[in-house]
Amino acid sequence: MNLVIHDLVQRFDDPRSRRSTTVLDGLSLATGEVQSLVLVGPSGGGKSTLLRILAGLDVPVTGSVTFEGVALPRDEESLRGYRRGVGTVFQAYNLFPHLTAMDNLLLPLVHVHGLTDTEARRRVAEPLERFGLTAHAHKRPAELSGGQKQRIAILRALVVQPRRLFLDEPTSALDPEMTGEVLDMIDDLKRSGTEFVLVTHEMGFARRVADEIAFIADGRVAAHAPAAEFLDRCRDPRVTSFLARTLHA
Protein backbone atom coordinates (compact mmCIF):
# COMPACT_ATOMS: atom_id res chain seq x y z
CA MET A 1 0.00 0.00 0.00
CA ASN A 2 1.49 3.29 -1.09
CA LEU A 3 -0.51 6.31 0.09
CA VAL A 4 0.01 9.96 -0.84
CA ILE A 5 -2.17 12.70 0.64
CA HIS A 6 -1.70 16.29 -0.51
CA ASP A 7 -3.05 19.41 1.19
CA LEU A 8 -6.30 17.86 2.45
CA VAL A 9 -8.88 20.28 3.83
CA GLN A 10 -12.16 19.26 5.40
CA ARG A 11 -14.61 21.49 7.18
CA PHE A 12 -18.15 21.08 8.42
CA ASP A 13 -20.85 23.76 8.49
CA ASP A 14 -23.16 24.34 11.44
CA PRO A 15 -26.42 25.70 9.98
CA ARG A 16 -27.57 26.98 13.37
CA SER A 17 -24.55 29.16 14.03
CA ARG A 18 -23.76 29.69 10.34
CA ARG A 19 -20.15 28.90 11.16
CA SER A 20 -17.84 26.23 9.84
CA THR A 21 -15.30 24.13 11.70
CA THR A 22 -12.09 23.15 9.94
CA VAL A 23 -11.20 19.58 10.93
CA LEU A 24 -8.39 18.91 8.44
CA ASP A 25 -6.23 21.92 7.70
CA GLY A 26 -3.90 21.26 4.77
CA LEU A 27 -2.98 17.73 5.87
CA SER A 28 -0.28 16.03 3.80
CA LEU A 29 1.31 12.59 4.15
CA ALA A 30 3.33 10.18 2.00
CA THR A 31 3.99 6.62 3.13
CA GLY A 32 6.50 4.10 1.94
CA GLU A 33 5.32 0.75 0.60
CA VAL A 34 3.55 -0.39 3.77
CA GLN A 35 1.05 -3.03 4.80
CA SER A 36 -0.26 -1.19 7.84
CA LEU A 37 -0.53 2.51 8.68
CA VAL A 38 -1.63 3.46 12.19
CA LEU A 39 -3.10 6.89 12.95
CA VAL A 40 -2.78 8.19 16.51
CA GLY A 41 -3.20 11.48 18.28
CA PRO A 42 -5.45 13.48 20.61
CA SER A 43 -9.25 13.36 20.40
CA GLY A 44 -10.62 15.88 17.92
CA GLY A 45 -7.37 16.04 15.99
CA GLY A 46 -8.88 14.76 12.74
CA LYS A 47 -8.03 11.02 12.73
CA SER A 48 -11.55 9.70 12.16
CA THR A 49 -12.32 12.37 9.57
CA LEU A 50 -9.19 11.41 7.66
CA LEU A 51 -10.10 7.72 7.86
CA ARG A 52 -13.59 8.38 6.48
CA ILE A 53 -12.08 10.22 3.52
CA LEU A 54 -9.60 7.40 2.87
CA ALA A 55 -12.48 4.90 2.99
CA GLY A 56 -14.48 6.91 0.43
CA LEU A 57 -17.24 7.80 2.89
CA ASP A 58 -16.63 11.56 2.85
CA VAL A 59 -15.30 13.94 0.19
CA PRO A 60 -12.81 16.63 1.26
CA VAL A 61 -13.29 20.30 0.43
CA THR A 62 -9.90 20.41 -1.28
CA GLY A 63 -6.83 18.22 -1.64
CA SER A 64 -6.08 14.84 -3.13
CA VAL A 65 -5.56 11.21 -2.06
CA THR A 66 -3.87 8.52 -4.12
CA PHE A 67 -3.35 4.83 -3.43
CA GLU A 68 -0.69 3.19 -5.60
CA GLY A 69 -0.74 6.28 -7.80
CA VAL A 70 -4.50 6.09 -8.46
CA ALA A 71 -6.46 9.13 -7.30
CA LEU A 72 -9.41 8.63 -4.99
CA PRO A 73 -12.53 9.70 -6.92
CA ARG A 74 -14.77 12.55 -5.80
CA ASP A 75 -18.08 11.82 -7.57
CA GLU A 76 -20.61 9.60 -5.82
CA GLU A 77 -20.96 6.99 -8.56
CA SER A 78 -17.20 6.35 -8.66
CA LEU A 79 -17.00 6.39 -4.88
CA ARG A 80 -19.66 3.67 -4.67
CA GLY A 81 -17.46 1.50 -6.85
CA TYR A 82 -14.44 2.30 -4.70
CA ARG A 83 -16.29 1.46 -1.48
CA ARG A 84 -17.21 -1.95 -2.88
CA GLY A 85 -13.49 -2.78 -2.92
CA VAL A 86 -12.62 -1.78 0.66
CA GLY A 87 -13.84 -2.72 4.12
CA THR A 88 -14.62 -0.27 6.93
CA VAL A 89 -15.07 -1.05 10.63
CA PHE A 90 -16.30 1.45 13.22
CA GLN A 91 -16.20 1.43 17.00
CA ALA A 92 -20.00 1.06 17.23
CA TYR A 93 -20.15 -2.29 15.32
CA ASN A 94 -23.03 -1.16 13.01
CA LEU A 95 -24.54 -4.66 12.94
CA PHE A 96 -28.22 -5.02 12.05
CA PRO A 97 -29.83 -5.89 15.41
CA HIS A 98 -32.70 -7.95 13.92
CA LEU A 99 -30.36 -10.23 11.93
CA THR A 100 -28.19 -13.08 13.17
CA ALA A 101 -24.43 -12.80 12.97
CA MET A 102 -24.52 -15.10 9.93
CA ASP A 103 -27.13 -12.97 8.17
CA ASN A 104 -25.10 -9.82 8.92
CA LEU A 105 -22.19 -11.48 7.12
CA LEU A 106 -24.27 -12.74 4.19
CA LEU A 107 -26.12 -9.49 3.52
CA PRO A 108 -23.36 -7.51 1.74
CA LEU A 109 -22.16 -10.57 -0.15
CA VAL A 110 -25.61 -11.32 -1.58
CA HIS A 111 -27.14 -7.87 -1.97
CA VAL A 112 -24.05 -5.77 -2.81
CA HIS A 113 -21.61 -8.22 -4.38
CA GLY A 114 -24.13 -10.47 -6.12
CA LEU A 115 -23.18 -13.87 -4.68
CA THR A 116 -25.78 -16.57 -4.33
CA ASP A 117 -26.74 -17.61 -0.81
CA THR A 118 -24.82 -20.85 -1.25
CA GLU A 119 -21.70 -19.05 -2.51
CA ALA A 120 -21.90 -16.54 0.33
CA ARG A 121 -22.25 -19.23 3.00
CA ARG A 122 -19.28 -21.07 1.55
CA ARG A 123 -17.17 -17.90 1.68
CA VAL A 124 -17.94 -17.09 5.33
CA ALA A 125 -17.61 -20.63 6.70
CA GLU A 126 -13.80 -20.73 6.84
CA PRO A 127 -13.22 -17.30 8.46
CA LEU A 128 -15.97 -17.97 11.01
CA GLU A 129 -14.13 -21.10 12.00
CA ARG A 130 -10.72 -19.43 11.84
CA PHE A 131 -11.70 -16.73 14.31
CA GLY A 132 -13.69 -18.97 16.64
CA LEU A 133 -17.11 -17.57 15.78
CA THR A 134 -18.92 -20.54 14.20
CA ALA A 135 -20.76 -21.37 17.42
CA HIS A 136 -22.11 -17.81 17.58
CA ALA A 137 -23.27 -17.48 13.96
CA HIS A 138 -26.94 -18.09 14.84
CA LYS A 139 -27.01 -15.38 17.53
CA ARG A 140 -28.33 -11.85 17.14
CA PRO A 141 -26.08 -8.96 18.20
CA ALA A 142 -27.84 -8.57 21.56
CA GLU A 143 -26.77 -12.12 22.42
CA LEU A 144 -23.09 -11.49 21.64
CA SER A 145 -20.40 -9.99 23.83
CA GLY A 146 -18.80 -6.72 22.77
CA GLY A 147 -15.70 -8.53 21.57
CA GLN A 148 -17.78 -11.01 19.57
CA LYS A 149 -19.80 -8.20 17.97
CA GLN A 150 -16.67 -6.34 16.94
CA ARG A 151 -15.08 -9.50 15.54
CA ILE A 152 -18.23 -10.13 13.49
CA ALA A 153 -18.07 -6.50 12.26
CA ILE A 154 -14.45 -6.99 11.19
CA LEU A 155 -15.31 -10.30 9.58
CA ARG A 156 -18.18 -8.67 7.66
CA ALA A 157 -15.69 -6.20 6.21
CA LEU A 158 -13.20 -8.97 5.50
CA VAL A 159 -15.41 -11.51 3.70
CA VAL A 160 -16.03 -9.15 0.77
CA GLN A 161 -12.31 -9.69 0.05
CA PRO A 162 -11.39 -5.98 0.11
CA ARG A 163 -8.19 -4.45 -1.19
CA ARG A 164 -7.68 -3.02 2.30
CA LEU A 165 -9.43 -2.42 5.62
CA PHE A 166 -10.08 0.86 7.42
CA LEU A 167 -10.61 0.47 11.17
CA ASP A 168 -11.70 3.35 13.41
CA GLU A 169 -10.95 2.76 17.12
CA PRO A 170 -12.34 -0.81 16.99
CA THR A 171 -11.63 -1.43 20.70
CA SER A 172 -12.59 1.89 22.29
CA ALA A 173 -15.91 0.62 23.70
CA LEU A 174 -14.55 -2.72 24.98
CA ASP A 175 -13.24 -3.93 28.32
CA PRO A 176 -9.67 -5.32 28.47
CA GLU A 177 -10.60 -8.97 27.85
CA MET A 178 -12.78 -8.14 24.84
CA THR A 179 -10.15 -5.69 23.60
CA GLY A 180 -7.66 -8.55 23.58
CA GLU A 181 -9.97 -10.68 21.41
CA VAL A 182 -10.26 -7.97 18.77
CA LEU A 183 -6.56 -7.04 18.81
CA ASP A 184 -5.61 -10.70 18.40
CA MET A 185 -7.86 -10.84 15.34
CA ILE A 186 -6.24 -7.75 13.79
CA ASP A 187 -2.82 -9.16 14.61
CA ASP A 188 -3.77 -12.35 12.75
CA LEU A 189 -4.91 -10.30 9.76
CA LYS A 190 -1.54 -8.52 9.72
CA ARG A 191 0.30 -11.82 9.70
CA SER A 192 -1.89 -13.09 6.85
CA GLY A 193 -1.02 -10.09 4.66
CA THR A 194 -4.13 -7.91 4.96
CA GLU A 195 -3.50 -4.21 4.27
CA PHE A 196 -5.12 -1.77 6.68
CA VAL A 197 -5.25 1.75 8.05
CA LEU A 198 -6.05 1.74 11.76
CA VAL A 199 -7.04 4.53 14.15
CA THR A 200 -6.25 3.44 17.69
CA HIS A 201 -5.31 4.61 21.17
CA GLU A 202 -3.74 1.22 21.98
CA MET A 203 -0.10 2.22 21.61
CA GLY A 204 1.33 -1.11 22.71
CA PHE A 205 -0.69 -2.75 19.97
CA ALA A 206 0.39 -0.09 17.48
CA ARG A 207 3.97 -1.15 18.14
CA ARG A 208 3.03 -4.75 17.27
CA VAL A 209 1.18 -4.16 14.01
CA ALA A 210 2.20 -0.79 12.54
CA ASP A 211 4.66 -0.43 9.71
CA GLU A 212 4.36 3.35 9.95
CA ILE A 213 2.64 5.63 12.47
CA ALA A 214 1.29 9.12 11.82
CA PHE A 215 0.43 11.52 14.65
CA ILE A 216 -2.58 13.66 13.72
CA ALA A 217 -3.21 16.85 15.70
CA ASP A 218 -5.00 20.09 14.89
CA GLY A 219 -5.94 18.77 11.46
CA ARG A 220 -2.37 18.12 10.32
CA VAL A 221 0.31 15.45 10.46
CA ALA A 222 2.53 16.53 13.34
CA ALA A 223 4.86 13.52 13.05
CA HIS A 224 5.20 10.48 10.81
CA ALA A 225 7.79 7.72 10.81
CA PRO A 226 8.34 3.95 10.77
CA ALA A 227 6.84 2.49 13.93
CA ALA A 228 10.02 1.83 15.91
CA GLU A 229 11.46 5.25 15.09
CA PHE A 230 8.19 6.98 15.98
CA LEU A 231 7.81 5.21 19.32
CA ASP A 232 11.43 5.22 20.46
CA ARG A 233 13.14 8.22 18.89
CA CYS A 234 10.53 10.86 18.05
CA ARG A 235 11.44 14.17 19.72
CA ASP A 236 8.34 16.22 18.88
CA PRO A 237 7.09 17.42 22.31
CA ARG A 238 3.44 16.76 21.43
CA VAL A 239 4.28 13.17 20.53
CA THR A 240 6.45 12.53 23.59
CA SER A 241 3.75 13.95 25.86
CA PHE A 242 1.09 11.84 24.14
CA LEU A 243 3.18 8.66 24.40
CA ALA A 244 3.97 9.33 28.06
CA ARG A 245 0.24 9.41 28.79
CA THR A 246 -0.85 6.47 26.63
CA LEU A 247 2.00 3.97 26.90
CA HIS A 248 2.02 4.09 30.69
CA ALA A 249 -1.71 4.57 31.30
Please check the confidence at residue 198 and state whether its pLDDT lies above 90: yes
DSSP 155-215: HHHHTT--SEEEEESTTTTS-HHHHHHHHHHHHHHHHTT--EEEE-S-HHHHHHH-SEEEE
In which region does residue 169 sit, left (phi positive, over 0), alpha (psi from -120 to 50) or beta (all else)?
left
Q: How far apart are CA 36 and CA 25, in angstroms?
A: 24
CA-CA-CA-CA torsion for 133, 137, 142, 148, nearest 10 degrees?
10
The model carries a pTM of 0.91
Q: What is the pLDDT of residue 100?
A: 96
Residue closest to 91 by CA, chosen among 201, 206, 213 = 201
pLDDT in tens, 85-109: 999 998 877 899 999 999 999 999 9
